[in-house]
């Protein structure tokens, strides 16, 4: 055999190997695709079907009656209050521990009048608790106070946060109304606002 015959035989062998190699490669690729698709089907069938949950939004508590002009409703407390003309009202987001709101006038960064109300939903209070709260109050300013149908006391709280305060017990929980700065003029504004308060 000469070099030319050897080259032809080698070329024929290479040609014969190429179709076999291509067929083997195609079988491997098709087998790989088939195995992959079987795994994906098994994964999908083994995955838990997510439960269809329909959520109904919790409706905002609404007042049991139509609101008057400038009247606000503090739902968690069931309290209605009328905001005097020209004053700002704001309320923090209520939570399980407390509910509060503000009525203010003057510059926002330094109000000349502020009524701050706090209902402590997570704090039980009895008549004994009211007596305890009086210890931080100037004895010469303490007198009985009524807000709606709830009875408590009012007076000048002394200390680092001096303020005029009205404190009553509503449903066994403390409900306070604090006035700052505690001037006679601001106290008169607070008394006028408290006279508009009613409860559901």
Delimit the domains of the chain by residue range. 1-54, 71-199
Which DSSP state fits 52? -
What's the predicted TM-score (pTM) here? Answer: 0.67
Task: Give the pLDDT confidence of 143-185 residue by residue, as tens digits.
Answer: 999 999 899 999 999 888 899 999 999 999 999 999 999 999 9
Find, among 160, 161, 197, the residue nearest to 178 by Cα: 161
More confident residue, 87 or 31: 87
Q: Which residues of 105-122 are buried (b: 16+ CB within 10 A; e: fewer)?
A: eeeeeebebbbbbbbbbe
Q: How far apart are CA 143 and CA 156, in angstroms?
A: 10
Query: Residues with Cβ < 8 Å from 4, sequence gap 6 or more?
Result: none
Task: Give the pLDDT confidence of 31-46 residue by residue, as tens digits.
Answer: 777 677 777 665 555 5
CATH class given for the domain over 71-199? alpha beta
């Amino acid at each position: 055999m000469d070099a030319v015959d050897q080259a032809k035989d080698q070329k024929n062998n290479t040609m014969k190997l190429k179709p076999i190699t291509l067929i083997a490669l195609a079988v491997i690729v098709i087998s790989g695709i088939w195995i992959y698709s079987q795994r994906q089907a098994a994964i999908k069938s083994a995955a838990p079907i997510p439960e269809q949950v329909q959520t109904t939004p919790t409706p905002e508590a609404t007042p049991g009656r139509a609101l008057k002009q400038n009247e606000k409703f503090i739902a968690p407390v069931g309290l209605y209050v009328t905001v005097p003309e020209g004053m700002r009202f704001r309320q923090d987001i209520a939570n399980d521990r407390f509910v509060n709101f503000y009525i203010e006038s003057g510059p926002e960064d330094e109000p000349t009048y502020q009524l701050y109300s706090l209902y402590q939903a997570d704090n039980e209070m009895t008549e004994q608790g009211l007596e305890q709260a009086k210890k931080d109050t100037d004895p010469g300013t303490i007198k009985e106070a009524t807000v709606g149908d709830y009875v408590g006391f009012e007076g000048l709280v002394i200390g680092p946060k001096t303020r005029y305060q009205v404190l009553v017990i509503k449903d066994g929980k403390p409900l306070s109304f604090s006035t700052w700065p505690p001037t006679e003029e601001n106290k008169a504004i607070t008394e006028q606002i408290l006279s508009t308060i009613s409860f559901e």
